[in-house]
Amino acid sequence: MRYPVASLRIKNNCDGMRILYHHRTRGGDAQGIHINALCRSLEAVGHEVCLMGPAQPAVTGKSDGAGTQPSEQKSPRALTIPGWLYETAALLYNLPALFALLIKGFRWRADAIYERYAVYNTAGLMAARILRIPLILEVNAPLSEEMQRDGRLHWPRLATAMENSLIRRADAVIVVTRVLQGIFEKRGVTARQWLVMHNGIDRERFHRQVDGQHRRETMQATADDVVAGFVGWIRPWHGVDQAIYALQALRDEVPSLKLLLVGDGPALPELRQLVAHLGLDDRVHFTGAVNREEIPSWLAAMDLGLQPDVTPYASPIKLFEYLAMGLPVIAPERENIQEVMRHRQEGLLLPDGDVGALARALLALSTDPALRSTLGRQAHDRIEQGGFLWQENARRVISFLNTYSTRTG
């Protein structure tokens, strides 16, 4: 099995740490965005990173935007190979991965391994123990539970046992929400140290000074129009159809309200059909797939951001990008969302799946510029208040490693 090593630019900083970042991600979606953002931030705060995995996640070219994808794994059906064969390959992957980590770790004198969790992936833990360096495990979803629920595991007991063991034995486990930590604790799994670290943004790219006027002109939105937007890889469970139905309900009451959908995804064909069926073609603009670098300007074209639905334990990157751009957000009233934003402080939180409530929220924000301005300003400030920045996340990782070195040194 070929196991290429993708190294980021290396800083010659004698005081910095050397961190092996190991992953098993091929996608350039939210997973790739997260991986590259954290690695670059670790470098920006003065440390060296070697990114290792089956391929370096690309976040250039066609991108899904800022969407979040709950699972690290492609389904066996999507890969058109039997489930047992796919899982066997995932288990065997640990052999070349371990070999590569050990070679690089010894030659480079690595100080730590940072691993993005994937089902059956134990190479990082084995390498850390042999190299006698700490392992930080980043967990973005209860993958064994998620894949078992979707019928995508051939050996669910083995996957769950390996997942539980890995979390217990890692030196620190980063989870993206407190909700996710609670899921494992209810399962009886206790980490040596939990670190709750939400996703973040790059403030140099996402800020209120970004110009979105040319994007508004593209979608033929006037200065008087109110643009509600969604950005990301659009899946059926994102609930974007709810926003379309809410727009229809407000067709006559708020003729200035428009909907901007930025990104591609499996739900797009049905959404286009729904828009045509409801006669909303002049009120809804689809961009299709766009370059990742274009996302800030499309966000700047919006007056408010939409997160109609969300995985209960996820930390959607789009949410932080909405906030960073100073957009009031309409989102479901779920615990993971409430860890980040508050009702009538940075936006409006609604009962799950309530199209009527969504329509009322759109009505309130689209007809009250003062409310939009107040919530948008507070949304912008929330990023710094909550420390929802990639460089802050990098500093938290280094803070743990410094504490670990002091404790064990």
Lowest mean pLDDT among 100-109, 142-151, 180-189: 142-151
Segment 107-144, tens digit of pLDDT: 999 999 999 999 999 999 999 999 999 999 999 999 99
Same domain, yes or no: 255 and 350: yes
The pLDDT score that the predictor gives to residue 405 is 74
Q: Rounded to an integer, what distance in angstroms lies between the CA atom of residue 239 and that of residue 401?
A: 40
| Mean pLDDT value of segment 71-75 | 38
How many domains are there within the chain? 2
**Same structural domain for residues 223 and 119?**
no
Which residue, among 98, 144, 78, has the nearest Cα to 117 in the 3D structure?
Answer: 144
The yes-or-no verdict on residue 74 having pLDDT over 60 is no
**What's the pLDDT score for residue 386?**
97
Residue 278 structural domain? 213-386
- Residue 7 above 70 pLDDT? no
Q: Is the pLDDT of residue 82 over 70?
A: yes
Looking at the fold, whether 173 and 57 belong to one and the same domain comes out as: yes
In a domain, 207, yes or no: no
Tell me the helix, strand and coil percentages in the chain, rounded to 5.
45, 15, 40
Instruction: Select from 324, 380, 371 the least CA-distant residue to 348.
Output: 371
Environment class of residue 386 by beta-carbon count within 10 Å: exposed (0-12), middle (13-18) or buried (19+)?
A: middle
Q: Is residue 208 part of a domain?
A: no
CATH number of the domain to which 365 belongs: 3.40.50.2000
Taking residues 321-326, what's their average pLDDT?
98
Instruction: Tell me: do 318 and 372 sit in the same domain.
Output: yes
Establish if 56 belongs to a structural domain: yes
Neighbours of 1 (CB within 10 A): 10
Residues 374 and 400 in one domain: no
268 with 304, same domain?
A: yes
Q: Note whether 48 and 186 are same-domain residues.
A: yes
Does 239 share its domain with 354?
A: yes
Q: What is the pLDDT of residue 6?
A: 41
Question: What integer best gives the mean pLDDT of the chain?
Answer: 90
Structure tokens at 154: 């051939």
d(CA 75, CA 63): 20
Same domain, 188 and 217: no
pLDDT digits (tens, 9 = 90+) for 10-36: 343 446 999 999 999 866 678 888 999
Note whether 130 and 10 are same-domain residues. Answer: yes
Residue 62 has pLDDT above 70, yes or no: no
Is 160 within the bounds of a domain? yes
Task: Tell me 263's DSSP state.
Answer: B
Residue at 13 is within a domain: yes
- Do 69 and 190 reside in the same domain of the chain? yes
Residue 205 placed within a domain: no
- On whether residue 74 sits in a domain, the answer given is yes
pTM of the model: 0.90
Rounded distance between C-alpha atoms, residue 155 and residue 144, angstroms: 10
Residues 188, 84 share a domain: yes
Query: Residue 249 is encoded by which pair of tokens?
Result: 């309900």
Is residue 336 in a domain?
yes
